[in-house]
């Protein structure tokens, strides 16, 4: 560490850990004989995140906000940035040469690339895009499966439980771009230094608090909730033991709500209800990656029946799931209510 000569003597960190350095070091430590394919794939991913972050940052200036005039695979209106984010992601994954299969929220069908890529990537290129025009944080969510030996790449290679993912995470595009990544042994957080063009390790080995009196849910759906869901949220708002009620925090952008939950603790839910019987969020590229990150940070993630999300075997690529995730104690408490349904 040295002191700058200009202005007040600010200590300058001269030995920073970039994402590239971090993943290379991890590979040498945990898999010295690995081919390095996953490392190269993660490198292509970080390029996609930087490119998307760049476009979101200049969106208002170059008229990228608003609707694109088309709809995605499930009929949602697509924002211009949804389309651009999707293209950036697909091109980066294709160019990496390491990806055989890609599932994107914005594409109806599974994408199969030429070549002998050994990985399948699932992603929501820009999640929470209804918030974009108001400048609220949005994010990219991703998960990675390694293809089974001898697989040539087919849909069954992505219809696998989340606990088989080899890496997952998200990038939140807010005041800064934050990348939160797990490769199955803990969670690390990186912040994009736009001057350097590098993600810097700023949140090593993130462990989430085991409890915190915060609940995060779209309460406007409570008309449609079942009795167990209503009873749980009543219990945190009107505690019978005289304790303080929980605080409510809901951004409406999953990446931002989950990011806060990881750093501060608490719980986040998008339950299934009478209107959206299977929930709103998608299991492959929203439920699984977030569940993996949350579990790796010491939390829990369950569906609306109280079952572990990572153990679900999806049958469709755009399948939905009711999501309850967060601090261990908070989700155990929620589970005690959801279990009454069974």
Identify whether the C-beta of residue 285 lies closer than 8 Å to the C-beta of residue 303. Answer: no
Part of the chain binding ligand AHM (CB under 6 A), chosen from 164-172, 173-181, 250-258, 304-312: 250-258
Which residues in 241-270 contact Mg ion (CB under 5 A)? Answer: none
**Minimum distance of Mg ion from residue 64's CB (angstroms):** 18
Q: What is the end-to-end Cα distance of the chain in Å, rounded?
A: 58
Q: What does the alpha-carbon distance between residue 46 and residue 313 come to, in Å, rounded to a whole number?
A: 28
Looking at residues 271 to 290 of the shown chain, list those that interact with ligand AHM (rule: CB under 6 A): 280
Q: Which one of Mg ion, ligand AHM, none interacts with residue 305, CB within 5 to 8 A by kind?
A: none
Interaction between residue 127 and ligand AHM (CB under 6 A): yes
Structure tokens at 142: 């991703």
With CB under 5 A as the contact rule, the residue among 82, 86, 106, 127 that binds Mg ion is 127
CA–CA distance, 56 with 75 (Å, rounded to integer): 23
Task: Judge whether 157 and 145 are in contact, CB under 8 Å.
Answer: yes
Among residues 256, 261, 275, which one has the least CA distance to residue 334?
261
**Region from 124-132, 218-226, 263-271, 334-342 binding Mg ion, contact rule CB under 5 A:** 124-132
Tokens of 4: 């700058």
At its nearest, how many Å lie between Mg ion and the CB of residue 149?
A: 32
Kindly state the smallest distance separating residue 37's Cβ from ligand AHM, in Å.
Answer: 29
Window of 87-95, 115-123, 246-254, 332-340 that interacts with ligand AHM by CB under 6 A = 246-254
Backbone angles phi, psi at 68, to 5 degrees: -90, -15
Out of 180, 254, 301, 312, point to the residue binding ligand AHM (CB under 6 A).
254
Tokens of 230: 């209503």
- Angstrom distance (rounded) from CA 163 to CA 206: 19
In the complex, what is the shortest distance from the CB of residue 340 to ligand AHM, in angstroms, rounded to a whole number?
25
Minimum separation from the CB atom of position 158 to ligand AHM (A)? 18
| Cβ atoms of residues 144 and 121 within 8 Å | yes
Question: Judged by CB under 6 A, does residue 76 bind ligand AHM?
Answer: yes
Distance of alpha carbon 207 from alpha carbon 203, whole angstroms: 10
Q: How far is the CB of 243 from ligand AHM (least distance, A)?
A: 27
- As to burial, measured by CB atoms within 10 angstroms (0-12 exposed, 13-18 middle, 19+ buried), residue 297 is buried
Per CB under 6 A, the list member of 85, 117, 128, 306 interacting with ligand AHM is 128
> Does residue 143 touch ligand AHM according to CB under 6 A?
no
Distance CA 39, CA 20 (A): 8
Q: How far is the CB of 130 from ligand AHM (least distance, A)?
A: 6
Name which of 262, 102, 82 is nearest 181 in CA terms. 262
Q: Cβ atoms within 10 A of the Cβ of 246, count?
A: 19
Binding status of residue 129 toward ligand AHM by CB under 6 A: yes
Helix or strand holding residue 274 (H, E): none
Residue 124 interacting with ligand AHM (CB under 6 A): yes
Kindly tell me which residue out of 73, 218, 235, 319 binds ligand AHM, with binding defined by CB under 6 A: 218
Nearer CB in complex with Mg ion: 126/208? 126
Contact status: 124 vs Mg ion (CB under 5 A): yes
Q: Which residues bind Mg ion (CB under 5 A)?
A: 124, 127
Q: Which residues bind ligand AHM (CB under 6 A)?
A: 76, 105, 124, 127-129, 218, 252-254, 270, 280
């Amino acid at each position: 560490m040295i002191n700058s000569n200009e202005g007040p003597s600010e200590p300058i960190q001269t030995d920073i850990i970039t994402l590239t350095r971090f993943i290379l070091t991890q590979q040498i430590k945990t898999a010295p004989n690995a081919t390095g394919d996953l490392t190269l794939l993660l490198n292509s991913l970080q390029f996609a995140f930087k490119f998307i972050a760049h476009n979101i940052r200049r969106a208002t200036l170059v008229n990228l906000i608003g609707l694109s005039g088309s709809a995605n695979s499930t009929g949602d209106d697509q924002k211009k940035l949804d389309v651009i984010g999707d293209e950036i992601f697909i091109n980066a994954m294709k160019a990496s040469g390491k990806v055989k299969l890609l599932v994107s929220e914005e594409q109806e069908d599974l994408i199969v690339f030429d070549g002998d890529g050994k990985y399948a990537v699932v992603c929501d290129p820009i999640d929470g895009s209804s918030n974009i025009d108001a400048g609220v944080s949005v994010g990219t969510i991703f998960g990675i499966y390694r293809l089974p030996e001898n697989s040539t790449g087919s849909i069954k290679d992505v219809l696998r439980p989340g606990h088989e993912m080899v890496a997952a995470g998200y990038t939140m595009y807010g005041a800064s771009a934050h990348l939160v990544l797990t490769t199955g042994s803990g969670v690390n957080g990186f912040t994009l230094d736009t001057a350097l063009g590098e993600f810097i390790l700023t949140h090593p080995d993130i462990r989430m608090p085991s409890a915190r009196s915060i609940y995060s849910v779209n309460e406007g759906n409570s008309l449609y909730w079942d009795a167990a869901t209503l009873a749980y949220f009543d219990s945190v708002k009107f505690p019978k033991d005289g304790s303080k009620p929980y605080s409510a925090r809901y951004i409406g952008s999953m990446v931002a709500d989950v990011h806060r939950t990881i750093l501060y603790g608490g719980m986040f839910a998008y339950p299934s209800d009478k209107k959206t019987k299977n929930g709103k969020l998608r299991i492959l590229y929203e439920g699984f990656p977030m569940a993996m990150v949350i579990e790796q940070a010491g939390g829990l993630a369950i569906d609306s029946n109280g079952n572990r999300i990572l153990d679900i075997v999806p049958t469709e690529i755009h399948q939905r799931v009711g999501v309850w995730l967060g601090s261990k104690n908070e989700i155990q408490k929620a589970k005690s209510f959801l279990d009454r349904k069974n």
